[in-house]
Amino acid sequence: MRKRRLIALACVLAVLCAAVALSLADAVSGGPILSKEQLNQAGMKIGVSTGSASMLIAEKELPNAEIVYYNDTASAYEAVAQGKLDAYVYDRRQMELAISSGRSGVRLLDENMDEGVPIAVGISPVTEIPDFTERLNAFIRELKNDGTLDGMFQRWAVDQNEQMPDIPSTADPQIHLTVATSGVVPPFSYYKGADLNGYDIELAYRFAAWLGADVTFKVYDYTGIVPAAVSGDVDCIMANLNITDERRESLSFSDVLYTEHVGIMVADTAAAASGSFWDNLRESFTKTFIREGRWQLFLQGVLNTLIITVLSVLCGTLLGFGVFMLCRNGNPVSNAVTRFVTWLVQGMPMVVLLMILYYIVFGNVSISGILVAVIGFTLTFASSVYSLLKLGVGTVDRGQYEAAYALGYPNRRTFFRVILPQALPHILPAWKGEIVNLIKATAIVGYIAVQDLTKMGDIVRSRTFEAFFPLIAITVIYFVLEELIGLLISRISISFNPKRRSPESILKGVKTDD
Amino acid sequence: MIKIEHLRKEYPNATPLKDVNAVIGNGDVITVIGSSGTGKSTLLRCLNLLETPTSGRIWLDETEITDPKCDISMIRRKMGMVFQSFNLFGHQTVIENIMLPQMDLLGKTKQEAYDEGMRLLRVVGLSEKALNYPDEISGGQKQRVAIARTLAMSPDVILLDEPTSALDSTMVGEVQAVIRQLAGSGKTMMITTHEMAFARAISNRVFYMNEGIIYEEGTPEQIFDHPQRENTRRFIRRLKVLELLIEKKDHDFPGMSGEIDRYCAKNQIPAKLSSRIHLALEEAIRQQILPGLESPRIRAVVEYAEAEETAAVTVSWNGPERDITRTGDELSLSLLKGIVSEMQYTRTGTDDLPNILSFEIR
């Protein structure tokens, strides 16, 4: 017995060692990269941005290299600087901006990957605004003809003037324009303080004014932004969006706004660390929280995370409890339905469940991402609560039911007066664990356009070009939230534990001096 | 007041009750006896529908409780039940266990419930434990609280399902005393038990259950002293007579010791005599007879005479003639002689266990 256990332990250790060795070997090869040709070799690791034109170009032009897919650019920059990637190919302007804003340890090759990528507005095939494409193109032609479009590009992209011009909003809008944007691509779509800013945002305001519409922005990851337009969640995408053949299959595009290039970022081995640790930390802190009032973003993120968590816990607990009550007496229909839904919900990755709810189930309904997140997490939390109740109530001895029945308690009162009070002390600690899990699980709601704490961290990272500090900051915030909620639940647990009562409270209101 | 007609209870793999018919009058104290698995508990549990009968009808006064339209919770309030495993509510103190059902089900105020609860706790002698939790008191105390809780509902009938079987032998007495007091108060009671002397002392009627029916019923004297039917006689004899068989060198002696204990408990044999029976059998069988046998077959029969408080023991075994009263191990023999009297060895030629040792223990 002991021998077998030792062998198992040895196997686990061996696998771990192998994994560590492999991840070490993962580090990239060879000396500095000087040209595009060098990238097209076996063993080269090239980062691309998922779904972008840079991804398609890299896949086509670098067939020998290994392509690694990134959803957020700040992580990719860090990977290059640390040598986890040989190169990252992406929008050249973005990368220049990052380097000029202080992203160190990386540099750009002079060469580009391509001759230029056209950028346009992506149009939802199911938008409810009539003649949308024609009107948008007419608007773009007008801006081109009077030089406004070039002026916008000059101001935002070349001069890097962050001032949003004054665009009058429509007084009595007859049309409602909903625009998907990314919020993480300066100078086109990004957060300045707590507000969206940039070329695409100005374009949206101008188009809305031109249409006689008001405008609502929804912020998506690039992985979710095209599905959002396809499902009709938004009317169009203004997010420095490349025209690619694949995207053309599901979306139509407006006339080209401007052309961007795909650049190549490699590690800059010459770069030396500067400043002391504390100076760097202070600088990171200032950049992440203070500058442009970015703490407001975090505050909003915390608020959204809390709203989703608290509502999901409340609704999930109620739902789970209700379902348990329906299934308690062994009704075959409700049990079968519950088993099926629990199986479905618990077996599915949470992010997939959320995406299905948001883009398919509620695809044609105008519904806020927060509500969808609450619905999704309510379902999973309810199934956890259901399982917990089943487990906890199962620990109560059969004799307790019989004693209550024999005294004349009806079924339902037996449950509430005798069984549940004894099950709760078993259930509450696990319930608390589920809540902490839930807080962490909500970190994926960025996929459905909810700006929770994690998403806000991504947004700030896209501005500060720092990989670590915002991540650590949000981790700390998560810990604080979990701790606070944990304290609250512990309080509740104590008050639910009947054995923690004092003798005085047990006989409150009774004269005992006899 | 209770009438049972053709009561039948089937499980997928057993039928503990085949056809039970009985009439229970006001103030009857009925003991239900029978071997394990003869449906004694099932019968009690069918009476307050903790088990749903497969067929048959039960009336409580004028109400047919097996009628699906009958409000069973109301019936159960009139029919208290005391369980083998006590089943006190673990999350409540002793006094709350008694107060809560009164407040929840009888609509009494907290003060009324408390006063009645304390009165009953005094009756069962546990008023000092009012604020203890069930897991802080002994088994006997738990069962007394459970009886008080049942009484607090002032039921017309009390069903006691082996109330002392889960108890340490040191605690049986305290619970029996409470039940005895209860039986004297004129309440209608039905009790299943293995303690025959207790049954004889408290009940006016005894049901012997066998083969899924009430096989024989009568007064304690009729059933215990003059049983009419064959199976009853065998059961009563087995109660009074302990038979032990040893057919291996490595016999389960601890298990045998347990059997002796149970026999002594059933017949309320005094502790001193009980320990002597243990010792005598140990010395005679393990020290004297067993070592001389290659493939042992030993049969020991113990019969307790209540009137004289003596136990007669007969041990017979196979193999060649061996008078252990003369040839046995010295030390062990003197021990044996110290506690038994009238020890006698005989050899019969015809029996397959030809060696017979008999003695009496006082």
The CATH number of the domain holding residue A223 is 3.40.190.10
**Cβ of residue B1 closer than 8 Å to a chain A Cβ:** no
Tell me the shortest Cα–Cα distance from A233 to chain B, in angstroms: 53
Q: Do B105 and A405 touch (CB under 8 A)?
A: no
Asked if B89 reaches chain A (Cβ–Cβ under 8 Å), the answer is yes
CA separation for the pair A374, A379 (Å, rounded): 8
Which residue did the predictor score with more confidence, B51 or A507? B51
Are A303 and A427 contained in the same domain?
A: yes
* Tally of domains within chain A: 2
> Does A299 share its domain with A417?
yes
Query: Strand B241-246 to strand B298-305: parallel, antiparallel, or no bridges (unpaired)?
Result: antiparallel
For residue A418, the chain B residue with the least C-alpha distance is: B89
For residues A204, A208, A210 and A212, what is the CA-based torsion angle, rounded to 10 degrees? 180
Q: Do B92 and A410 touch (CB under 8 A)?
A: no
By the 8 A CB rule, do A472 and A242 touch? no
Q: Is there a single domain that holds both residue A297 and residue A214?
A: no
Residue A235, token pair as written in the block: 């009317």
Give pLDDT, residue A26. Answer: 47
**A189 φ, ψ to 5°?**
-145, 110
Out of B80, B87, B101, the one facing A402 most closely (by C-beta) is B87
For B76, name the nearest residue in chain A, comparing CA atoms only.
Answer: A408
Answer yes or no: do B89 and A399 touch at CB < 8 A: no
In a domain, A12, yes or no: no
* Residue range(s) defining the domain that contains residue A206: 118-259
Q: Are B161 and B82 in contact (CB under 8 A)?
A: yes
Say if the Cβ atoms of B114 and A512 lie within 8 Å: yes
Give ipTM to 2 decimals. 0.81
Q: Taking CB atoms and an 8 Å limit, are B114 and A408 in contact across chains? A: no
The two three-digit tokens of residue A151, written as one number: 């002026």
Q: What pLDDT score was predicted for residue B115?
A: 94
A350 and A449 co-located in one domain? yes
Which overall architecture, per CATH, does domain B2-228 show? 3-Layer(aba) Sandwich (3.40)
The predicted-structure confidence for B280-322, as pLDDT tens digits, reads as follows 998 888 888 888 888 889 999 998 887 788 899 999 998 888 8
Q: What is the CA radius of gyration of chain B?
A: 24
Within 10 angstroms of residue B282's Cβ, the number of other Cβ atoms is 18
Task: Using an 8 Å CB-CB cutoff, list chain B residues near A496.
Answer: none
| CA gap A215, A212 in Å, rounded | 10
Euclidean distance between CA atoms A160 and A163, whole angstroms: 9
Give A38's DSSP letter.
G
Query: Do A339 and A478 fall into the same domain?
Result: yes
Residue B235 neighbours by CB under 8 Å, 6+ apart: B33, B34, B35, B208, B210, B227
A336 and A463 belong to one structural domain: yes
Residues of chain B neighbouring A512 (CB-CB closer than 8 A): 114
Closest residue in A to B100 (Cα–Cα) = A417
pLDDT at B1: 85
Question: Looking at the structure, do residues A414 and A359 belong to the same domain, yes or no?
Answer: yes
Q: In this predicted model, what pLDDT tens digit does every residue of A255-281 receive, in sequence order?
A: 999 988 889 999 887 655 566 778 878
B10 compared with B325, residue with greater pLDDT? B10
Peptide bond into A187 cis (omega under 30): yes
Antiparallel, parallel or unpaired: β A195-197 and A189-192: antiparallel
User: Which of B171, B170, B103 lies closest to B143 in space, CA to CA?
Assistant: B171
* Mean pLDDT across chain A: 86
CB pairs A-B closer than 8 Å: 79
**In a domain? residue A4:** no
CATH number for the domain harbouring residue A477: 1.10.3720.10
SS3 A145: helix
The answer to whether residues A353 and A424 belong to one domain is: yes
CB-CB under 8 Å, A397 with B87: yes
- Within-domain flag for A8: no
Concatenating the DSSP letter of every residue in A292-332 gives GGTHHHHHHHHHHHHHHHHHHHHHHHHHHHHHHHHHHTT-H
Long-range Cβ contact pairs of A477-482 (< 8 A, separation 24 or more): A477/A298, A477/A302, A477/A453, A478/A439, A478/A440, A478/A443, A478/A453, A481/A302, A481/A305, A481/A306, A481/A309, A481/A439, A482/A436, A482/A439, A482/A440
CA distance B254 to chain A (A): 31
pLDDT in tens, B276-289: 999 999 888 888 88
d(C-alpha A151, C-alpha A144), whole Å: 9
Q: Give the closest of A408, A417, A507 to B114, CB-based.
A: A507
Whether A236 is in a domain gets the answer: yes
Same-domain check for residues A478 and A340: yes
Q: Which residues of B touch A392 (CB under 8 A)?
A: none
pLDDT value, residue A16: 57
Q: For the residues A51-79, what does the mean pLDDT come to?
A: 85
Establish if B100 touches chain A: CB-CB under 8 angstroms: yes
Say whether both A314 and A166 belong to one domain. Answer: no
The class (CATH top level) of B238-361 is: alpha beta
Interface contact A418-B89, CB threshold 8 A: yes
With 70 as the cut, is the pLDDT of residue A25 above it? no
Q: How many CA atoms lie within 13 A of B257 on its CB side?
A: 10
Per-residue model confidence (pLDDT) at position A73: 83
Torsion sign (Cα): A321, A323, A325, A328: negative
Q: Are residues A469 and A390 in the same domain?
A: yes
Clarify whether residues A419 and A482 are in a common domain: yes
B151 Cα to chain A: minimum distance (Å): 10
Domain boundaries in chain B? 2-228, 238-361
Taking residues A107-129, what's their average pLDDT? 88
Contact A321, A389 (CB under 8 A): yes
Chain A residues lying within 8 Å of B101, measured CB to CB: 407-409
- Name the closest residue on chain B to residue A511, using Cα atoms: B111
